Amino acid sequence: MSGWSTSDIPDQTGRRVVITGANSGLGAETAKALAAAGAEVVLAVRTTAKAEPVAAEIGPKASVRRLDLADLASVRDFAEGFDGADVLINNAGVMAVPLARTADGFEMQIGTNHLGHFALTALLLPKITDRVVTLSSEVHQIGNLDLDDLNWEKRKYGRWRAYGDSKLANLMFGKELAARLGSSGSTVQSLVAHPGYAATELQGRSGNWTDRFAKLANRLPIAQSAAGGALPTLYAATSPDASSGGFYGPTEFFGMHGAPGPSRYHKRADDTVKRERLWTLSESLTSTTFGV
């Protein structure tokens, strides 16, 4: 693979990065690469025991803290003990799972992938000095948020549509945050990334026939490693060429794999009226507010 790689990560010595869901897959590879470049990394995970081996592999630059994005009380506990960082990476997520509810009654995918990260970012933003990177997906293309039924209380549940909605919400949030930070004169940037198709533990948890398809696809040339899938996140988090409001992903094979760069996205993400409505609704549901 040619183009931008981990060898292009600027020196991260003296910098601190918080990464949600860093116990495996993309998050773990992101943490390893940043620590190798000199950063201190905080692995923010639901089950700390699962992250301890990753922290042990990284060494003294890594620490582990508990964070359950499906429980706003846990998000608030994490934020209360937070003493600042240069970068927040909203990486954790669930994909195409059967209908379930978070501790606060949200549909599990929108609750974990979007609302949990929305609340976390709101609470941590005053102590972030450089960037917020939020993970979306190419599956955002099938998302079409119903803001009158965000939590799937009225509609027949569709696990893939719900996942697409959550990833569209991630993209819209990242772009709206960038716009608001820019308008407020803040120097903090908000960027969005997607991994293309990376073979990780995220696949295979749908509980239906798509699990078998995912396991097969993970063995095909369209899939890249978790380390390859982490490159767009690393680019967004560290590259001086990455711009606030930008969406970055693999640049080869229709955005499935390859070196990171600017990525196409659905025009729905540029609907500023809907972005503002999603923002207001998210603040209401999570009982959080932003200073931008």
CB-based contact 260:249 (threshold 8 Å): yes
Q: What is the full DSSP assignment across 214-243? A: HHHHTTSTT-B-HHHHTHHHHHHHH-TT--
Q: Which residues contact 258 (CB under 8 A, 6 or more apart)?
A: 1, 3, 196, 224, 250, 251, 252
Helices and strands, counts by H and E, the chain:
10, 8
Closest by alpha carbon to 20, among 113, 111, 137, 138?
113
| 223 phi/psi in degrees, rounded to 5 | -90, 145
SS3 at position 42:
strand
Name the nearest CA neighbour of 92 among 143, 152, 133. Answer: 133
CA angle 31, 37, 41 (to 5 degrees): 35
Examine the residue annotation and report whether 157 is marked as an active-site residue of this protein: no
Which phi and psi (to 5°) does residue 158 adopt?
-125, 115
The token duo for 91 is 């990486």
3-state secondary structure at position 107? strand
**Closest among 72, 111, 78 to 94, alpha carbons compared:** 111
Q: What are phi and psi of 63, to 5 degrees?
A: -135, 160
In sequence order, the β-bridge partners of residue 132 are 88, 190
Q: Residues 163, 197, 235, 265: which is the catalytic one? A: 163
- Catalytic residue numbers, as ranges: 163
